[in-house]
Amino acid sequence: MRFAVITFPGSNGDHDALKSIEMGLGQPVEPVWYRETDLSRFDCLLIPGGFSYGDYLRAGAIARFAPVMESVAEFARRGGPILGMCNGFQVLTEAGLLPGALLPNGSLQFRSMWVHARVERSDTPWTCKIDDGTVLTLPIAHGEGRYYADDETLERLEANGQVVFRYTDPQGHRDPEFNPNGSVNAIAGICNEARNVVGLMPHPERAFDALIGSDDGMKVLSSVLEAGLATAAG
């Protein structure tokens, strides 16, 4: 399966994403510079973390207009699996490929720490190998990660099962103490209605080996291999 890592000026998690796929998954992966527009050689896209365009105006706001984003939107429309991590999640919401927005953390502080994220839904290409309710240990590193959507959108997300990851305690119970940024409904990650586009604030690509603290991220990244096979077989 061929992975692309979409890279903007100011991305800084691109090499983490590349390494996690090369070393963790042993799959072919290429960085794709924001000026490129041909994504036809790829089976799935990763949008990495960082501070694209310095996070000026709003995180992800300017990356959204990069030339590559038209092709990313087209890839999404065709049902291709896309995973946005941290800044990648912010870019996807700004681009309207995922609902809602990411606001400055409730604490107003940058949070760099390990968190627990409960997998709410295994029916996305990025979670299909994980049992519902599994608690993953993943790192976060962000200043603008407070997920927000208006009440109507939130109700729809919950009703459609579009909340894919939620912040919990280590046992998988919701607790405001374990919500690192004040996200509404403790939302750490969501998917679009078609379920092929997933965004989350934690970094699965920075947890691909126990040596660096956790390999729980591999459960997310390797899921797509199975999803891809299922698509090919179907």
Partner 1 sequence: MSTSSGNGTTRWRADVYVTLKPVVNDPQGLAIRDGLHMLGYNEVRAVRAGKFIQLWVEGDDSATAEERVTQMCDKLLANPVIEQYRFTLAADEANLSE
> Would you give the binding string for partner 1 spanning residues 84-113, x where CB under 8 A is met?
---------xx----xxx-xxxxxx-----
Contact with partner 1 (CB under 8 A): which of 2, 23, 28, 65? 65
> Under a CB-based contact definition with an 8 Å cutoff, are residues 46 and 14 in contact?
no
The answer to whether 116 is a known catalytic residue is no
The answer to whether 158 is a known catalytic residue is no
Min dist CB 56 to partner 1, Å, is: 11
Closer residue to partner 1 in complex, CB, 38/177:
177
3-state secondary structure of 226: helix
Pick the catalytic residue from 86, 94, 116, 144: 86
What is the rounded CA–CA span in Å between residue 143 and residue 79?
31
* CA distances in angstroms from 42 to 48, 64, 179, 212, listed in the order given: 16, 20, 35, 28
Contact with partner 1 (CB under 8 A): which of 39, 114, 135, 148? 148
The answer to whether 205 is a known catalytic residue is yes
**Which residues in this chain contact partner 1 in the complex, by CB under 8 A?**
57-58, 61-62, 65, 93-94, 99-101, 103-108, 148-150, 182
